[in-house]
Amino acid sequence: MNIDELKQKPVAMMTGEELSFLIDSRMATWATEIASLSQRRIYYGIEGIAQIFGCSVPTANRIKKSGVIDDAITQIDRQIVIDGNLALELAKKAGTIRVKGEKTAKENDVH
C-alpha cells in the first residue's frame, strides 16, 4: 500500500486494514518527532546558561559574552533561548569552558 494513494482516498472508501495502516504510519512518524524533541534540552535566559554549566549568573554572562556558545543561542530582542546539548558540545570543542566532572585536553596530556 502506498501512503500517498491512501491520503487521496476518502476515509469512507477505505478498508479497515487501509485505515489502520495509514494511522499506524502517522503514529510512527509522530513517535520519532517526539523522541527527537525530548532529547533536546531547552533553557531560557542567562539563568539557563548558569543551569547548563552549573555556574553563577555572572559567570554565565561571561560565557555568553565570550561567544563560545553563540551557535547554541537564539536571541530575539531580550528573549534568550539556549539549546543545552549544543552549548555543552560547543564548550567542549572550544576547551575554554570546563564542564563539571570532565578533564580538559591539557589535563589529559599531562602524565
Q: What tens digit of pLDDT does each residue of 82-111 get?
A: 999 899 989 988 887 665 666 655 565 555
Q: How far apart are the first and last CA of the chain?
A: 62
Condensed to tens digits (0 to 9), the pLDDT of residues 26-79 reads 888 877 777 766 667 889 999 999 999 999 999 999 999 999 999 999 988 888
pLDDT at position 107: 60
pLDDT at position 109: 59
Backbone angles phi, psi at 8, to 5 degrees: -85, -20
pLDDT at position 81: 93
pLDDT at position 110: 57
